[in-house]
């Protein structure tokens, strides 16, 4: 069960790009392709090198006008300079194939920078996987899921169902808890009972596409990948136009859907975690779910695996359909429940769970812009110009340095404004409400922010996945989006009060 600002994972994650140094992170490293392998803090004895035949594809959006010498991208955003040696290993379309230690190092550097994505040609087989299904009182869902998993080894963990879960499939067996112990305990028990090298966790209310597992398994040809997750989409009804407003919102903006773009998964990046409703793990890398958590256990597990040095990938080409909630009350109550998990994450992971991250200069520029005064606008321009000039100097001999520095500074400022708008409408809405009651000026600002942020969010999601038309128009989306924010924020404050710890509300303003 996810909990880290689940209603808009793409929005939350991308806003972190503005947190590094006020303009977006800038690496400045040189991909020379020199001999050797970077260290990886994975399990002792685990090989870290990419195998021969493994390929990576440079994200063409990172190469200005198709020039691979200077690559700008990743999350957080950075600049990577490609040496002549590296360019000689790169095809005209940005593909690199691992064939020796030099290409191995180059491919790893590009992957870790988030500027390239893996294109593995091989991987483990489905016979190397055991599917674990935690379930409580959902026999129909289990039957439907087992039908889609025909031929795979399956362990169903009955987490204290009132009527015991049963199956007559020869490839499936059932473990039963006499009392409910939670999804974390059920998944851990299933993983402990598995004997295969890989374990797939699927909730009982999902249905995977036929090729989902084959696609995900190829990523494990990289020996440092410990977890891979598919895109979770809505299990559409026969007549989507007849669906309720809440169901259509869930089908388009589910808290489980991490978006259409493939990426590495790491805290404070575009994809900070992946939900446990559908994921595949390397058993030797699996750290187990925290059984004391009934919410946010998947975020916690992802961050602990990342801290141990394991790489995590999100591949939206693999798709798993989820049976979303269809009524408004259940959708919003779930969002509220997810909000309570932020306090758990903050107590365990500190700044990684912060609702907002920004540098001091960028925070000052954002506050100045939100003041909606001439003085504020002038002050913001001075700050942003200073940041752009500073970045221009750091870019050195990059031919398009003025344009790149302006773009990166503008992008960081935009993300900073979105973070502030998100915080006003979502994390800090109780405070914003009190201020609005006593200040007409702030009340006007809050209304404007709620509308503009909603429109921007709707347009950004539309542009991110233009092949999939939005399930709601902008007006209905903004209504549901704001209700979503109110529910999540209420849960967040509920968790903070229950834990008597304000850490989950503390923004991170770095120097």
Categorize the per-residue pLDDT at 66 as very low, low, confident or very high, splitting at 50, 70 and 90. Answer: confident
**Tokens found for residue 303:** 């961050």
Categorize the per-residue pLDDT at 397 as very low, low, confident or very high, splitting at 50, 70 and 90. Answer: confident
- How high is the pLDDT of residue 468? 84
pTM comes to 0.90
Question: SS3 for 287?
Answer: coil
- How high is the pLDDT of residue 16? 33
- How high is the pLDDT of residue 18? 34
Q: Is the pLDDT of residue 507 over 60?
A: yes
- How high is the pLDDT of residue 14? 32
Domain ranges of the chain: 12-119, 126-326, 355-510
User: Phi-psi category of 74—alpha, beta or left, where left has phi over 0 and alpha has psi -120 to 50?
Assistant: left
- How high is the pLDDT of residue 150? 86
Categorize the per-residue pLDDT at 46 as very low, low, confident or very high, splitting at 50, 70 and 90. Answer: low
- What does DSSP say about strands 116-119 and 129-135: parallel, antiparallel, or unpaired? unpaired
- How high is the pLDDT of residue 76? 78
For residues 18-41, give the mean pLDDT. 39
User: Span 126-326: which CATH code?
Assistant: 3.90.550.10
Percent of the chain whose pLDDT exceeds 70: 90
Q: Is the pLDDT of residue 388 over 50?
A: yes
- How high is the pLDDT of residue 11? 35
Is the model more confident about 408 or about 335? 335
For residues 11-17, give the mean pLDDT. 33
Categorize the per-residue pLDDT at 20 as very low, low, confident or very high, splitting at 50, 70 and 90. Answer: very low
CB-CB neighbours of 45 under 10 Å = 6
CA neighbor of 324 nearest in space, from 240, 399, 267: 240
CB-CB contact of 17 with 508 (8 Å): no
CA neighbor of 365 nearest in space, from 381, 342, 386, 346: 381
Categorize the per-residue pLDDT at 377 as very low, low, confident or very high, splitting at 50, 70 and 90. Answer: very high
CA distance 213 to 217: 6
């Amino acid at each position: 069960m996810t909990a880290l600002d689940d209603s808009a994972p793409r929005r939350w994650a991308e806003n972190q790009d503005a947190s590094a140094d006020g303009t977006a992170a800038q690496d400045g490293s040189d991909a020379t392709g020199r001999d050797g392998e970077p260290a990886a803090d994975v399990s002792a004895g685990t090989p870290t090198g990419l195998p021969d035949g493994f390929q990576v594809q440079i994200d063409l959006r990172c190469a200005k006008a198709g020039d691979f010498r200077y690559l700008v991208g990743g999350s957080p955003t950075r600049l990577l300079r490609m040496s002549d040696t590296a360019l000689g290993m790169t095809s005209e379309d940005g593909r690199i194939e691992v064939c020796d230690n030099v290409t191995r190092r180059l491919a790893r550097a590009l992957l870790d920078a988030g500027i390239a994505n893996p294109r593995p040609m091989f991987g483990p087989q489905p016979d190397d996987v055991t599917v674990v299904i935690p379930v409580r009182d959902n026999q129909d869902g289990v039957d439907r899921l087992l039908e889609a998993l025909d031929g795979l080894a399956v362990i169903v963990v009955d987490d204290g169902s009132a009527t015991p879960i049963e199956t007559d499939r020869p490839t499936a067996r059932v473990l039963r808890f006499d009392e409910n112990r939670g999804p974390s305990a059920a998944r851990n028990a299933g993983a402990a009972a598995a004997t295969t090298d890989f374990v797939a966790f699927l909730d009982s209310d999902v249905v995977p596409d036929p090729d989902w597992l084959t696609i995900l398994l190829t990523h494990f040809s990289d020996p440092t990948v410990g977890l891979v997750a598919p895109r979770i989409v809505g299990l559409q009804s026969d007549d989507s136009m007849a669906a309720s407003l809440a169901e259509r919102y869930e089908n388009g903006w589910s808290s489980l859907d991490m978006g259409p773009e493939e990426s590495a998964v790491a805290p404070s990046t575009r994809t900070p975690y992946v939900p446990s409703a559908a994921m595949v793990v390397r058993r030797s890398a699996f750290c187990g779910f925290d059984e004391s958590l009934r919410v946010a256990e998947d975020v916690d597990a992802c961050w602990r695996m990342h801290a141990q040095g394991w790489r995590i990938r999100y591949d939206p080409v693999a798709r798993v359909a989820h049976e979303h909630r269809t009524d408004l009350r259940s959708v919003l109550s779930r969002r509220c429940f997810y909000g309570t998990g932020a306090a758990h994450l903050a107590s365990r992971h500190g700044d990684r769970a912060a609702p907002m991250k920004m540098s001091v200069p960028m925070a000052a520029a954002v506050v100045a812009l939100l003041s909606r005064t001439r003085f504020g606008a002038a002050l913001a321009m001075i700050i942003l110009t200073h940041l752009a000039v500073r970045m221009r100097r750091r870019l050195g001999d990059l031919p398009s340095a003025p344009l790149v520095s302006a773009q990166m500074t503008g992008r960081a400022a935009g993300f900073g404004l979105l973070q502030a708008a998100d915080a006003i409408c979502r994390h800090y809405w109780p405070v914003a409400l009190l201020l609005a009651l006593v200040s007409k000026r702030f009340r006007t600002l809050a209304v404007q922010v709620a509308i503009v942020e909603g429109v921007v969010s709707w347009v950004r999601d539309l542009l991110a996945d233009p092949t999939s038309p939005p399930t709601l128009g902008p007006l209905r989306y903004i209504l549901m989006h704001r209700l979503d924010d109110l529910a999540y924020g209420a849960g967040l404050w509920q968790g903070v009060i229950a834990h008597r710890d304000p850490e989950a509300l503390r923004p991170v303003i770095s120097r």
